Structure 1
Amino acid sequence: MRLHIVKCIICLASIKCISAAGPFFLQLNTTEHVIGNDLLNITIGPTYATKLFYKNKDLIVNAQGHYLSYRSFLNWTSARIYSQTDDSLDVVFEAPEGDFHWVIYHDLAGAYQYFVNKALPVLGEFRSLVRLDNTTFFNGNTTSKEGPLPTLAEIASGTKVQDETWQLPNGTYISEYDWADFIRDQEYYGVYGNEFGSWYIYPGKDEYNGDHLKQELLVHRKSRTGDVVLLNVLHRTYFMASSNDCFEVGKTWGPWLWYLNNGSTEDASNRAKQENQNWPYTLFNSSAYQSRGSVFGTLNIPDGRVAANAAVFLGDNNPNETTLDMGRFNYYTTYADSTGYFRFDNMRTGVYAIQAWSNGPPIGDLSATYLQNNIQVNRNESTDLSSQDFVTSARTVVRKIGDFDRKALGFRYGGAPREHALVEKCPANLTFVVGVSKVENRYSAQSSVGSWTVSFNLTASEVPKNSSAVLSVSLAGYSGGTSDVSVNERVVGMLGGSSILADPSLYRSATTAGEWHYFEFGVGDGTLQAGKNEATFKVMKSSRLGGFMWDALMLEWSGYP
């Protein structure tokens, strides 16, 4: 195997330019190495990559640079050429926890990267990232947000109210969490300036923990140094209650592409489309990675409808965690079409469970979750699940507020742009009269101590002889507090407290979802009557920016007829 010959000019311990006959790997000393091609080169030390030259400009300068971390930093003990072709070079940097690979092509401004686990501990956070020069990069781009990152001057003018969050003199807030987003929705994301852009493109997303609603911080500015940060969060729990996982030896993350350009979002988008077409990558010569199959089927509801637009998830077999909490293995998400049909392609072979739930209209009244275990995925085969039916209670709906979709959509501020302390705009006391009050008067979150009451009328013909009922409460997120739940002044249960773990969604700028919770409370015979009825949620204990994020409320007759 031949090494690429390189010619370099070294000045002040930094490589300014390199002329190479293709991708190259150069050892400077026992702890520093340089990899690159004619377009770029990066100097990698024992922990950080601190020099990144592209178009003859250092894009890191005084920033912290590129690194991997969990509770501590990964320290590279050795580096070597792992494999080589005429136009590519796979260089592996080894640490006790695992091997991190850089795949360099001769004509690519960037690098494919992947990580192979050897001894990562049980953890909740694992990430790769790059911290870049703040005079070169000053804008962020995600699927839902684009624009200038906060400046150091803006940050300095504010009062710090929590981690990386400041209140400005005009009363508004800036927070790094305003730049979080749903990770599986990202085709590409990055930071850019007038001449340079740095992007992560991660097609497939097999290895991410969590389901469709997994959200993470993607870009931001560090307040202490001003570094512009581009994150590739491989496993994390920033908007979850908890998710610590133990990984098998050999588990891989990636490959993904770290891509550099002239700052054009259009070019990054086009590159992402190209990468999706090329996934799964042939550059990763692993039998486990390359061994893939497909799964397809149709989901129905026993009342004769199809599960149109349902969220569909393939994950752990015989699960003992929620879909958002899963993270040890590989996970796949999609949505059913208008006929209830779904399909997963290029899944790694193995045994999975399929779960599905309402993603809103036209089945927004469906509170049930579909589950089927022992889904076998074989190499180069398509597993036909044919027609599958949800198991439902077949209860009769009395009244419903919101649509079951595990999100706060349909409520005021639900799905709004991320904003710190938005929950403080929700009232402590509220009465919502079904059929009378405007939809915008039902708010997405209840935080302060006080009572929210849902008032509704029932005609005599609507009330059956056996009027026992079930009140279903679906929370899009829960950030602490306790609430008594009563129907017509009879307490039927309690929300929150020590029975469920709190997530940080409400105080980390989330407006759509945190960690989903579903409860059913029995309502005794005779509690509901003809005329006026009330369901009341009385917050007994809360904290600032804590509370309950609503998904849906539904009352059903359980003893009908």
Structure 2
Amino acid sequence: MGVFKALAFAALAVAVPVEERAKKPQSFLKDLGNSTWVIGNEIWNVTQNRQYANKLFYKGGDRVGNAVGHYVSYNGAASDLNWTSAAVADSGNDWINVKFTANEGDFHWVIYDDLPGAYQYFVNHALPTLGEFRTLWRLDNTSFSRGRTNVKDGVLPPLEEYRSAINVQDETWQKADGTYLTKYDWSGNVRDMDFHGVYGDEVGSWYLNPGKDYFNGDQLKQELMVHRESQTGDAVQLNMIHGTHYQAISRDAFADGKVWGPWLWYLNDGSKDDAAKRAQEEEEAWPYKWFDDKEYQSRGKMQGKLVLSDGRPAAGAAVFLGDNNNSTISTLDQGKGYYYTTYADEDGKFDIHDIRTGTYALYAWGNGDSIADVTTNFTQNDVVIKPGKNTNLKELTWKVTDTKNRIFQIGAFDRKTDGFALSGPTPFEHARISKCPANLTYTMGKSQTSDWCFGQALNGTWNINFPVKTAPSDSKLTVSLAGFSQGTSATILLNGVQVGNITSASLVNSQDTYRGATRNGEWRLLEFAVAKEGLKMGENRIDVGVEKATQWRGWLWDSIVLERL
């Protein structure tokens, strides 16, 4: 037997004496003293120290190796949780619930005898106000050579590529051929994620997060999922249960007892098909009946119908159930509670099941297609969800502006760059924004939506030529940005006279354009008054002129609209 396999066998043997393996449950917690514990079952086992779980024995080998292992932390790597004790909090005839206690709260591993992996969840007791809270694995880069999200699947860049490249910003390097290495290419929309993880020819390690109601943010919430650690080469598998990678303001204080999870950390032989099958099974089983928590099990449902004030159904509208009476924090930045998302059908009808009981606000906004011209949002507070009950909101009227007053519109009003040049096919690519032109001319009636580029970040001017066919009147220019990173500013002129601006002085930074987001980041809405004297019969021109630019920093375009008041 080789040394590698012998060590794995020895650790398992220490953790599970022969006489105990015949008993139920066979899953185990073994206290080795000196703040070291071994947990697992006959399929896998983990050695947990005060801070890191630095050994993972599975399929005949230690799958952590020289990597860091498993840990829980907040606000980046600055604050890793330190475990002061471990105990079996509960058990059944084929499972145990192991609780690791830290000052900030309790981290649980629910281990079934026949499960390759474990269910995990965290119960808050004293976390500080924070933006980032995560669990993660940093694993052996030989066993786990590839990464998978729902938008990217492939070989993680070898460590040697980083060492021969030039660092150009945080976790981003330029290679000799001019292309880039960046961990942010391995990001994805949290609520669209089916499963993600790292894998190789022998093994796979996956996070399966059914339900997702404990994640912060709305449908457009994006997070980093996996990557290659640039200094050590570790294969990194992230579970960003409260994250800020593409946001402006997302800091929350949490109630004592707030629960994140449960989710499933799942091991297999590297098969994506098997991981997909298991992910579907977990979705069907959510919310988990086995999770013995009264507040978790107390759930109801909701339904309703959104109709625009002009009589149209709000077909395809994005629907978000979030914080009640919260007019100061965007839906993307909400994160202290539990959150639910869906989309209205073609008739404007929507429903959400398995909602934790409580009082929420219902938010909605346009998602393109037949309501791409809707520039307003919908909010209704005091939506009460009762245990076992259906909250029927019936028909809700969403006030919209009269499209007859629309002078022009470029782009669907949907908080995304969809339809613009270079907005696809993938939603993440470092420096793609620099491929958009410095100068651009868009002529209403001649140009197509695809002639407008997805982002603006270079010194230069984008012109919009448009006609006014009736007597000018007071109007409003609405500038909708799908994302904004500080460092680049623009002045907006109408027929040579300033009517507005896009500046770092008035907009808080979000980490989207310089981290390679191309579809969306933190949505911003700017509105500027246009006096009737500023318009003229016949041809008019709007200039969006960038006079100060910082590389890769600027804004993602959603829509620009001029309409009469």
User: Please, what TM-score do these two structures have when normalized by structure 2?
Assistant: 0.94
Separation in structure 1 between the aligned mates of residue 105 and residue 253 of structure 2, nearest angstrom: 14
TM-superposed CA distance for 1:260, in Å, is 0.3
Q: Does the alignment pair 1:429 with 2:435?
A: no
| Residue identity matched to 1:475 | L
- The equivalent residue for 1:365 is 373
TM-superposed CA distance for 1:328, in Å, is 0.7
Q: Does the alignment pair 1:281 with 2:291?
A: no
Q: Does the alignment pair 1:458 with 2:468?
A: yes
Separation in structure 1 between the aligned mates of residue 238 and residue 97 of structure 2, nearest angstrom: 22
Separation in structure 2 between the aligned mates of residue 205 and residue 383 of structure 1, nearest angstrom: 21
Match of 1:350 among 344, 358, 371: 358
Q: Is the 8 A contact 1:91 1:103 kept in 2?
A: yes
Q: Is the 8 A contact 1:456 1:532 kept in 2?
A: yes
Separation in structure 2 between the aligned mates of residue 133 and residue 500 of structure 1, nearest angstrom: 41
- 1:523-534 to structure 2, matched below 5 A, reads 523-534=530-541
| Residue identity matched to 1:224 | Q
State the Cα deviation string for residues 224-278 of structure 1 (Å, max 9, x = none).
1100000000111111112111111000000000000011111111001100111
- The equivalent residue for 1:24 is 28
Q: Is the 8 A contact 1:457 1:532 kept in 2?
A: yes
Match of 1:46 among 41, 50, 61: 50
Match of 1:420 among 418, 430, 447: 430
Separation in structure 1 between the aligned mates of residue 553 and residue 498 of structure 2, nearest angstrom: 23
Separation in structure 1 between the aligned mates of residue 386 and residue 459 of structure 2, nearest angstrom: 54
Change (3 A) 1:11 1:180: closer
Please tell me the root mean square deviation across aligned C-alpha atoms, in Å.
1.6
Q: Is the 8 A contact 2:111 2:118 kept in 1?
A: yes
TM-superposed CA distance for 1:496, in Å, is 2.2
Separation in structure 1 between the aligned mates of residue 141 and residue 304 of structure 2, nearest angstrom: 49
Match of 2:68 among 42, 55, 64: 64
Match of 1:158 among 165, 177, 198: 165
- The equivalent residue for 2:133 is 126
Separation in structure 1 between the aligned mates of residue 112 and residue 161 of structure 2, nearest angstrom: 40
SS of residue in 2 equivalent to 1:497 = coil
TM-superposed CA distance for 1:291, in Å, is 0.6
State the Cα deviation string for residues 146-184 of structure 1 (Å, max 9, x = none).
111111122222111112111111111110000011111
Separation in structure 2 between the aligned mates of residue 547 and residue 356 of structure 1, nearest angstrom: 27
| Residue identity matched to 1:211 | D
TM-superposed CA distance for 1:482, in Å, is 2.1
Q: Does the alignment pair 1:15 with 2:22?
A: no
TM-superposed CA distance for 1:539, in Å, is 1.6
TM-superposed CA distance for 1:492, in Å, is 1.2
TM-superposed CA distance for 1:550, in Å, is 0.3
- The equivalent residue for 1:5 is none
TM-superposed CA distance for 1:431, in Å, is 1.2
- The equivalent residue for 1:332 is 340
- The equivalent residue for 1:445 is 455
TM-superposed CA distance for 1:449, in Å, is 2.1
- The equivalent residue for 1:33 is 37
TM-superposed CA distance for 1:394, in Å, is 2.8
Separation in structure 2 between the aligned mates of residue 332 and residue 406 of structure 1, nearest angstrom: 18
Separation in structure 1 between the aligned mates of residue 51 and residue 555 of structure 2, nearest angstrom: 41
Q: Is the 8 A contact 1:14 1:51 kept in 2?
A: no
More deviation in 240-249 or 74-83?
240-249
Separation in structure 2 between the aligned mates of residue 116 and residue 213 of structure 1, nearest angstrom: 26
- The equivalent residue for 1:205 is 212
TM-superposed CA distance for 1:536, in Å, is 1.2
Q: Does the alignment pair 1:321 with 2:325?
A: no
SS of residue in 2 equivalent to 1:181 = strand
TM-superposed CA distance for 1:439, in Å, is 3.8
Q: Does the alignment pair 1:411 with 2:417?
A: no
- The equivalent residue for 2:316 is 309
- The equivalent residue for 1:241 is 248
- The equivalent residue for 1:544 is 551
- The equivalent residue for 1:170 is 177
Separation in structure 1 between the aligned mates of residue 310 and residue 503 of structure 2, nearest angstrom: 33
Q: Is the 8 A contact 1:397 1:557 kept in 2?
A: yes
TM-superposed CA distance for 1:10, in Å, is 8.8
- 1:259-298 to structure 2, matched below 5 A, reads 259-298=266-305
Q: Is the 8 A contact 1:469 1:556 kept in 2?
A: yes
Separation in structure 1 between the aligned mates of residue 197 and residue 371 of structure 2, nearest angstrom: 35
TM-superposed CA distance for 1:490, in Å, is 2.2
SS of residue in 1 equivalent to 2:130 = coil
Match of 1:402 among 400, 406, 411: 411
Give unpaired runs (5+ residues) of structure 1: 1-8
Q: Is the 8 A contact 2:361 2:381 kept in 1?
A: yes
Separation in structure 1 between the aligned mates of residue 80 and residue 300 of structure 2, nearest angstrom: 36
TM-superposed CA distance for 1:415, in Å, is 3.6
- The equivalent residue for 2:154 is 147
| Residue identity matched to 1:467 | S
Separation in structure 2 between the aligned mates of residue 162 and residue 90 of structure 1, nearest angstrom: 42
State the Cα deviation string for residues 189-233 of structure 1 (Å, max 9, x = none).
111101110000001111111111111110001111100000000
Q: Does the alignment pair 1:473 with 2:473?
A: no
| Residue identity matched to 2:464 | V
Separation in structure 2 between the aligned mates of residue 496 and residue 371 of structure 1, nearest angstrom: 28
Separation in structure 1 between the aligned mates of residue 206 and residue 176 of structure 2, nearest angstrom: 33
Change (3 A) 1:81 1:525: same
Change (3 A) 1:430 1:289: same
| Residue identity matched to 1:83 | D
Separation in structure 1 between the aligned mates of residue 254 and residue 543 of structure 2, nearest angstrom: 44
Q: Is the 8 A contact 1:416 1:512 kept in 2?
A: no
- The equivalent residue for 1:111 is 118
Separation in structure 2 between the aligned mates of residue 382 and residue 252 of structure 1, nearest angstrom: 24
Separation in structure 1 between the aligned mates of residue 212 and residue 42 of structure 2, nearest angstrom: 30
TM-superposed CA distance for 1:494, in Å, is 1.6
Separation in structure 2 between the aligned mates of residue 365 and residue 541 of structure 1, nearest angstrom: 31
Q: Equivalent pairs: percent with the same residue?
A: 47
TM-superposed CA distance for 1:527, in Å, is 2.6
Q: Does the alignment pair 1:491 with 2:491?
A: no
- 1:385-396 to structure 2, matched below 5 A, reads 385-394=393-402, 396=405
- The equivalent residue for 1:3 is none
More deviation in 440-449 or 543-552?
440-449
TM-superposed CA distance for 1:458, in Å, is 3.4
TM-superposed CA distance for 1:16, in Å, is 4.5
Separation in structure 1 between the aligned mates of residue 10 and residue 339 of structure 2, nearest angstrom: 42
Q: Is the 8 A contact 1:16 1:56 kept in 2?
A: no
Separation in structure 2 between the aligned mates of residue 336 and residue 272 of structure 1, nearest angstrom: 25
Q: Is the 8 A contact 1:368 1:391 kept in 2?
A: yes
Give unpaired runs (5+ residues) of structure 2: none
State the Cα deviation string for residues 7-54 of structure 1 (Å, max 9, x = none).
xx9959960455634211111114111111111111111111111111
- The equivalent residue for 1:376 is 384
| Residue identity matched to 1:304 | G
Separation in structure 1 between the aligned mates of residue 545 and residue 425 of structure 2, nearest angstrom: 25
Separation in structure 2 between the aligned mates of residue 479 and residue 152 of structure 1, nearest angstrom: 29
SS of residue in 2 equivalent to 1:239 = coil
Separation in structure 2 between the aligned mates of residue 32 and residue 10 of structure 1, nearest angstrom: 20
Q: Does the alignment pair 1:101 with 2:108?
A: yes
- 1:175-254 to structure 2, matched below 5 A, reads 175-254=182-261
Separation in structure 2 between the aligned mates of residue 12 and residue 116 of structure 1, nearest angstrom: 31
